[in-house]
Each structure stands twice: as C-alpha cells, then as structure tokens.
C-alpha cells in the first residue's frame, strides 16, 4: 500500500479502522487510513472537527476510550512492534518513553495541585528507575530550562503560569525521556498568536535538536506550513489527500483540500471567500460512495455510486477522488 | 458623522490587589455602514470594550455617543429601548443560546420583549424571513439548539440579533469557534447582510486575516489601551507600532513561499492591574529604552487618520519613520 520503502520508517500505519460503538449506532471515526512517519520527520494531519484526527492520535497511543472504541482493523507498526497487539504493560513502557503526547489544552493537561517540577520528575522517574532523587531533579530542571522557563519556577503550581508557559511545561514533560516521536494534538490552538509563534518556534528547535519525529494534528494550514515535511488532509475518517507540503499547498488535487484553502481569508487578496457548501456527513451515517460528494462542486454520477480508490500521483502524493485529473491546475492558491 | 463614538471610555474592575484596567481611555469612532475591527490578544480588553460600548457593562468613565446622542447617562429603561438599535453577536454559539428554547422561540424572543410584532402569525412569518435571510432551512423551526451544529447555531445567533432591525452590531469573535469551511460561510453572510441593511459593525477578533477580510478600519488594543488605529489598508501596508508589527509577523500564512521574518516577542502580557505610568508594551518591546518606562506615550495622530501610541516613532514633520533603534 505504502510506496515509501526507506529503512528509517519509525511509524507505519496501514489500513487502520477505528469505530466507536454507541448505544444503537456505530461512529465510523477512522476508515482505512495508511501513512508512515520517518525518523525525525514531522507529519501533519489537517482536518475539521469530527474528521477523526484525534481518534487517529489516540489509537497510536492506545488511549482510545475502550471498550466503547475499537480498533477494528489495520496495523500500527512502531519500530518492530505492532501497537494494535501490544499489551497494557508494553504500552506503558512505550508511552512517555518512546512516544509521548502533547494535548490541546494545557489547562487540563497538568495536575492543578502538584508542582510543575514534580510533574516533570514523575515522567523521568517512571522511565528511569535507576535514577537517584537528585539525578531526577537535575534532569527535571534541565528540561524546564530547555523549554525556556527559568528554573526558579520549578516549584510553582500550574495556576501560577500563563497558558503559553503551561504549554511549555507540557512540552517539557513530553520530551523529558527524549522520545522517538511526539504526537501534538492542536498544540497551539488554545494560545494567542504571539504565544503560538513562540511555542511553534520551540517545538521546531527541540525537534531539530533531538531529532524527534512529530505527528502534528491541526486544523490550521498555517501551523502545518510552519513545521511539517509532509501532511495529510483528513475528511470523514479518511485521508482524502496526502503528500509533501509542496504537493498539498501548490498542487492540491482533492476538491476538499482546495475548498479549505479557498475558505481562508488571505492577507494578499480580498476576493470574496468561497466556502465549501454544506457540512461534514454524520459519522454514524457515512455514505458508501465518496464521502465528500454531497459538498463537492465537481460531483458527477460515479461519485454518488462508488467510493473512489486512492490514486498515487507520485511516490508521496496520493488522492482519493475520481476527478483528481480535472481539478484546475490553476494556481488554486496562486502560490506557485 | 460617526454613528458610534467612544470618548476616553474607561472600564476598571476591582481586583484583589487593585484596579484592573480592562479598558483605559479608549477613543473610537465608527462611521455608519463601516466595520471597525478590534484586534488584540486575550486579556487586552477588546470584549469588555464591546460590552461597554453597548452599555451591557457600565463604564467607569468616559462617554459613549450613538448617532449624535450621548447614551452614557441614559437610564436602564432608556437603554433597553436603545437595544433595538444596537445588538451583539457572541463568540460561542454553544453557550449563547438557550438550550431549552426552540429556534423559533429563540429568534422571536426579542420581537416579544421589544413589542415589535404583536401578532403571533406575523411574528412567525418574520421568524421565517429571518431564518431565510441567515440561511437556516425551514425544517429547523421547531428544532432545539443541540440538534444544530456550530455553524447553524451561529446563524441562529445572527438571526436573533437581526430580529429587532438594529443599525449597529458588536460581533464578538463570531467565527473563532467555527471550522474554516463554516467560518467562511458566516463571514460571507455577515458581509452580505451588512451591504443589504447598511449595518455598522464593531468586529472583535484575534485573527488578523479575518479582520483584513471584513474590516474597513482597525484598532489594536494592548492591556486596555488602543495602541494603533488606522484604515485596514494602512495597517497592512505600513503598520507602525512594534506590537502591531509583531502581531502581523506572527500570522501563520498557509503559503510555502511566504517570507518568514518572524518577530518573536519575549514574555507575555503583563498585568493590567494598576499599571504604572509607562508604555505598557515596553517590557516585551524590541525597541524600548528609558523613555518608554518613564511615561506612557499618548495616542498620536500621525496624519491620514493614522494614530499610534509609541515614543519611538519619529515625531518630526508628518513623515513616518520606521523605528530604528535596536532593530533586529
């Protein structure tokens, strides 16, 4: 399925399907997605609310709210291991040490009644049982310094920090054990623009310094263009398009990808926005034909009858649309 | 003449250890039919400003003028009557409408409160018209908010604000809770309605791309003060205040070829409680020197309707000189 054949693949997901079973209906959250992330690479997943981005992230971490959520099919290979088959014990060893996660809301990701230093130490102690107390503390302080917080604040509580500083603490915790990969779920969405710029800068720096791979989940093309090497556009639980940043930004082939770009107000152009009509289909009632057909301006008969296959346009660029050839090569963005 | 005018408008809140200067002597004029974008980060006082202008909050000082009439001293009852002229659209379409009222009830409530349409039949007709105007299908007349997605709920909020035929609407982050594809739908809708009904907007947002799209004029707030005020065109062409420049540079442009000369501000917002008589942005400013911590700069007219509050911008003649000292 995946055309990437290099040896330095860290995460390789193929045909992942995740469902939530509600009382009398099934939410088809993730439907048959495949992608891989190389060592040290940043891979972005873009999509709107309900597209299945967070479910994908939680599946990798095996943090899905079971038993309601199930991985129905597919594999998640991380290094040599298949995480879908990993036991709880194995996962505990992987989480925090080899993969860690940064959540959207730094206000709720920290324990409000524990000093931030202790929270960082907890991660270090858990994964380095041989460390002495002072070694743990030194490592903790080092981490805090690394994310740009003065060590004097080591013994402060989360409420004494602003949103941006809290997110820095969360990043310190995520990186404390120098994991191979971090999954960042909308890491800057809750932050102000100038603080967002600071935090993205920090993630970029640390990624370069430690060679950590990043899976970045966001709804913002701007954030992706800032950090990622490749990205996927997710819609209705599927990757409708996936490729390098150049593929997606300069030669988007899926009407949804182009629709997203056209919906954004631009700084260099005041033309009327072209929103995508309608809204995302109910994930309990996904159509068996193309999931985007109802909202698509290019929809033809076949789109309402069959689900398009993924088409590989190059080694990296793939799209799930019958009419990918017909997408205007315009300058969808005029940004060539 | 400006439809809305704020003169030295001030709102303080008492906090544990002093007065919190949420809005500090703000001067603002909005011409009829235009949109004033109010930009700033969380805690800068932009939402408070919107609420004080509508007198949803009582100002601590200053004046508000509406259509040539001062409304600062009006009684509660008089203000209540003014509400048919001035309305608000809120940020969060999930908490700003009553979950136990149907869409019809929500939209018709202002018509009942202000005794605009007394006959039930006529009222329902008007509700249909409003739903049609904002693009909610008729099948939702008896639906409850939980049955609607965020975009539709925001449309209900807009319909409710429009029900009383206002001339001025404060839009407080009306699209920031929405997905991009829906955001574009709502922005276009707000623009269409403005044209159709010659509305005046005060558009509060933290998103500069949105403000560029929708506003005619921009004012940037920082810790309760207006630090820069000018036409949108001027702002994006020749913004002067170091804070505005940092805000502009922090926009993430979804464009691979965009020049990325980002000004990364150090630190974060300082406290708005009992601020000292000094430039409030100085602690984070790349250009600040002693002068900046000695006294607070005033909002200066530098010509062409461009106002800026900064010591470091050339005071000679009418020429605008970029801040030089210590430029990165």
- Helix runs in chain A, H state only: 53-61, 88-94, 106-109, 116-127, 133-146, 163-175, 193-210, 221-227, 245-250, 255-263
Q: pTM above 0.90? A: no
Give residue-wise pLDDT tens across range B132-152.
999 999 889 999 999 888 889
Beta bridge partners of B164: none
Three-state SS annotation for A293-323: HHHCCCCCHHHHCCCCCCEECCCCCEECCCC
CA-based nearest residue in chain B for residue A229: B256
Compute CA distances B194 → A255, B133, B199, whole Å.
Answer: 30, 12, 5
Q: Which pLDDT value is given to residue B320?
A: 44
Q: Which of A221, A267, A272 to mutate: most B Cβ within 10 Å?
A: A267
Q: Which pLDDT value is given to residue A1?
A: 44
In sequence order, the 6+-apart residues with CB closer than 8 A to the CB of B173 are B47, B91, B204, B205, B206
Give residue-wise pLDDT tens across range B192-234.
999 999 999 999 999 999 999 999 999 999 999 999 999 999 9
Nearest Cα to A118, choosing from A162, A160, A167, A156?
A: A156
Q: Which pLDDT value is given to residue A191?
A: 85
Cα–Cα distance measured from residue B260 to residue A86, given in angstroms and rounded to the nearest whole number? 43
Name which residue leads in pLDDT, A6 or B172. Answer: B172
Residues of chain B with pLDDT > 90, as a percent, come to: 70
Facing residue for A261 by CB, picked from B182, B208, B254: B254
Cα–Cα distance measured from residue B325 to residue B312, given in angstroms and rounded to the nearest whole number? 8
Q: Does A282 touch chain B (CB under 8 A)?
A: no
Beta bridge partners of B23: B11
pLDDT for B319 beyond 50 = no
Cα–Cα distance measured from residue B198 to residue B163, given in angstroms and rounded to the nearest whole number? 15
Compute CA distances B212 → A58, A258, B173, B187, whole Å.
Answer: 37, 21, 14, 12
Q: Which pLDDT value is given to residue A67?
A: 85
Cα–Cα distance measured from residue A218 to residue A226, given in angstroms and rounded to the nearest whole number? 12
Give residue-wise pLDDT tens across range B33-70.
999 999 998 889 999 999 999 999 999 999 999 999 99
pLDDT class for B176, splitting at 50, 70, 90?
Answer: confident
Q: Which pLDDT value is given to residue A6?
A: 63
Q: Does A235 touch chain B (CB under 8 A)?
A: no
Structure tokens at B195: 């044209």
Compute CA distances B144 → A134, B138, B245, whole Å.
Answer: 58, 13, 44
Could you tell me the strand order of the sheet in which B200-205 lies? B86-89, B168-172, B200-205, B35-39, B217-222, B225-231, B307-308, B300-301
Torsion angle (degrees, nearest 10) of CA A325, A48, B92, B156: 40
Q: What is the mean pLDDT of residues B295-320?
A: 80
Residues of A in contact with B249 (CB under 8 A): 197
Three-state secondary structure call for residue B48: helix
Cα–Cα distance measured from residue A233 to residue A227, given in angstroms and rounded to the nearest whole number? 16
Structure tokens at A165: 């500083």
**Mean of the per-residue pLDDT values of chain B:** 90
Facing residue for B213 by CB, picked from A220, A270, A333: A270
pLDDT for B323 beyond 90 = no
Beta bridge partners of B13: B20
pLDDT for B326 beyond 60 = no
Q: Which pLDDT value is given to residue B93?
A: 81
Q: Which pLDDT value is given to residue A7?
A: 72
Facing residue for B264 by CB, picked from A201, A221, A270: A201
Cα–Cα distance measured from residue A323 to residue B227, given in angstroms and rounded to the nearest whole number? 50
**Which ranges of chain A have pLDDT less than 50?**
1-3, 331-336
Separation of first and last alpha carbons in chain B:
42
> Beta strands B168-172 and B200-205: pairing type?
parallel
Q: Which pLDDT value is given to residue B181?
A: 86
Give residue-wise pLDDT tens across range B62-84.
999 999 999 999 999 999 999 99
Compute CA distances A234 → A34, A219, A290, A331, B308, whole Å.
Answer: 12, 10, 13, 22, 43
- Helix runs in B145-264, H state only: 150-162, 180-197, 208-214, 232-238, 242-250
- Closest-CA distance, A275 to chain B, in angstroms, reads 5
């Amino acid at each position: 399925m995946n055309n990437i054949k290099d040896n330095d693949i860290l995460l390789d997901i193929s045909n992942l399907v995740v469902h939530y079973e509600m009382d009398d209906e099934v939410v088809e959250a993730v439907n048959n997605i495949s992608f891989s992330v190389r060592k040290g690479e940043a891979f972005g997943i873009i999509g709107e609310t309900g597209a299945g981005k967070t479910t994908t992230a939680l599946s990798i971490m095996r943090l899905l709210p079971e038993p309601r959520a199930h991985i129905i099919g597919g594999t998640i290979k991380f290094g040599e291991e298949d995480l879908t088959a990993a036991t709880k014990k194995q996962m505990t060893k992987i989480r925090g040490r080899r993969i860690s996660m940064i959540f959207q809301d730094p206000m709720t990701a920290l324990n409000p009644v524990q000093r931030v230093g202790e929270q960082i130490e907890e991660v270090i102690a858990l994964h380095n049982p041989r460390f002495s107390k002072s070694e743990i503390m030194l490592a903790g302080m080092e981490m805090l310094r690394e994310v740009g917080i003065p060590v004097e604040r080591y013994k402060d509580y989360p409420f004494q920090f602003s949103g941006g500083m809290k997110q820095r603490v969360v990043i310190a915790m995520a990186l404390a054990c120098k994991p191979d990969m971090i999954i960042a779920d909308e890491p800057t969405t809750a932050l102000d623009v100038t603080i967002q710029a600071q935090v993205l800068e920090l993630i970029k720096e640390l990624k370069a310094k430690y060679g950590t791979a990043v899976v970045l989940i966001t709804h913002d093309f701007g954030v992706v263009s800032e950090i990622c090497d490749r990205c996927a556009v997710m819609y209705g639980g599927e990757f409708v398009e996936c490729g390098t940043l150049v593929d997606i930004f300069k030669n988007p082939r899926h009407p949804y990808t182009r629709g997203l770009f056209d919906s954004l107000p631009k700084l260099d152009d005041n033309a009327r926005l072209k929103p995508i009509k309608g809204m995302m289909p109910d994930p309990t009632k996904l159509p068996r034909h193309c999931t985007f057909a109802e909202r698509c301006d290019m929809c033809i008969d076949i789109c309402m009858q069959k689900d398009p296959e993924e088409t590989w346009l190059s080694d990296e660029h793939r799209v799930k649309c019958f009419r990918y050839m017909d997408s205007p090569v315009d300058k969808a963005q005029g940004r060539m | 003449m400006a439809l809305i005018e704020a003169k030295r408008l001030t709102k303080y809140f008492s906090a544990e250890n002093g007065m919190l200067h949420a809005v500090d002597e703000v001067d603002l004029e909005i011409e009829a039919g235009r949109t004033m974008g109010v930009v700033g980060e969380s805690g800068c006082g932009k939402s408070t400003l919107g609420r004080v202008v509508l007198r949803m909050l009582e100002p601590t000082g200053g004046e508000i003028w509406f259509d040539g009439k001062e409304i600062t001293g009006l009684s509660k009852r008089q203000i209540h009557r003014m509400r048919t002229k001035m309305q608000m659209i809120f940020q969060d379409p999930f908490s700003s409408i009553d979950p136990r009222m149907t869409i019809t009830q929500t939209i018709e409530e202002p018509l009942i409160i202000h005794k605009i349409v007394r006959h039930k039949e006529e009222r329902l007709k008007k509700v249909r018209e409003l739903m049609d105007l904002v693009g909610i299908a008729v099948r939702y007349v008896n639906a409850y908010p939980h049955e609607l997605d965020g975009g539709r709920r925001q449309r209900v909020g807009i319909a409710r604000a429009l029900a009383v035929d206002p001339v001025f609407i404060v839009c407080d982050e009306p699209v920031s809770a929405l997905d991009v594809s829906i955001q574009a739908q709502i922005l276009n809708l707000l623009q269409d309605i403005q044209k159709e009904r010659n509305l005046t907007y005060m558009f509060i947002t933290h998103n500069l791309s949105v403000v560029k799209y929708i506003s005619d004029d921009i004012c940037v707030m920082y810790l309760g003060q207006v630090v820069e005020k000018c036409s949108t065109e001027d702002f994006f062409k020749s913004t002067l205040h170091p804070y505005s420049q940092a805000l502009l540079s922090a926009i993430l442009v979804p464009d691979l070829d965009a020049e990325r000369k980002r000004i990364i501000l150090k630190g974060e917002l300082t406290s708005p409680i009992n601020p000292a008589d000094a430039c409030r942005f100085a602690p984070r400013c790349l250009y600040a020197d002693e002068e900046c911590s000695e006294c607070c700069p005033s909002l200066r007219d530098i010509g062409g309707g461009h106002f800026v509050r900064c010591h470091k911008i050339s005071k000679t003649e009418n020429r605008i000189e970029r801040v030089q000292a210590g430029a990165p």
